[in-house]
Amino acid sequence: MEYEFEDIAREIVISRLNESADAHTVAADVARAILVPAIATTRTQQEPRMTVVSVCRGVMEGLKRGGKDLPESAVALLEQMAPVAQESYLDGRDCKAWAMEAIVPVCRQELAAVRAALERSCEGDGAAFDRAVQTAGN
């Protein structure tokens, strides 16, 4: 059985954007609020990677539909991966890579800006994002 969180994450983000002008906080809060319990409850039925990718893609799609700043929101989203990993007993590097995997297709038109924002936020994240872009292209 596959659990799909993309649609619900997208709809929650869109709804929350109507209540808050701070898209970065919305992205971070929604992702973390969904991911930790979703990983815990679906872990035996599907790989955590699928859950992380689905939630993060939904969050980014909601932001895109809301016309929000995707590069800075991607940074906020990725900053949540370490606490999500810790609370879910996962490797933080894996969670970050899975989140990047979700970000790439949503941000196709802004890959350079996303890469620059990630590199400014954390040295090395730009190179990791480049790998996610290359993997998505294959």
Indicate the pLDDT class of residue 136, thresholds 50, 70 and 90.
Answer: confident
More confident residue, 79 or 123: 79
Indicate the pLDDT class of residue 59, thresholds 50, 70 and 90.
Answer: very high
Q: What is the mean pLDDT of residues 4-18?
A: 94
Read off the tokens for 68.
């929000």
Q: Which sequence spans correspond to the domains of the chain?
A: 6-137
Indicate the pLDDT class of residue 138, thresholds 50, 70 and 90.
Answer: low
**Predicted structure pTM score:** 0.94
**Dist. CA 48–CA 28, nearest whole Å:** 18
Indicate the pLDDT class of residue 75, thresholds 50, 70 and 90.
Answer: very high
**Dist. CA 46–CA 71, nearest whole Å:** 29
Indicate the pLDDT class of residue 122, thresholds 50, 70 and 90.
Answer: confident
Q: What is the pLDDT of residues 21-35, one digit of tens each?
A: 789 999 999 999 999
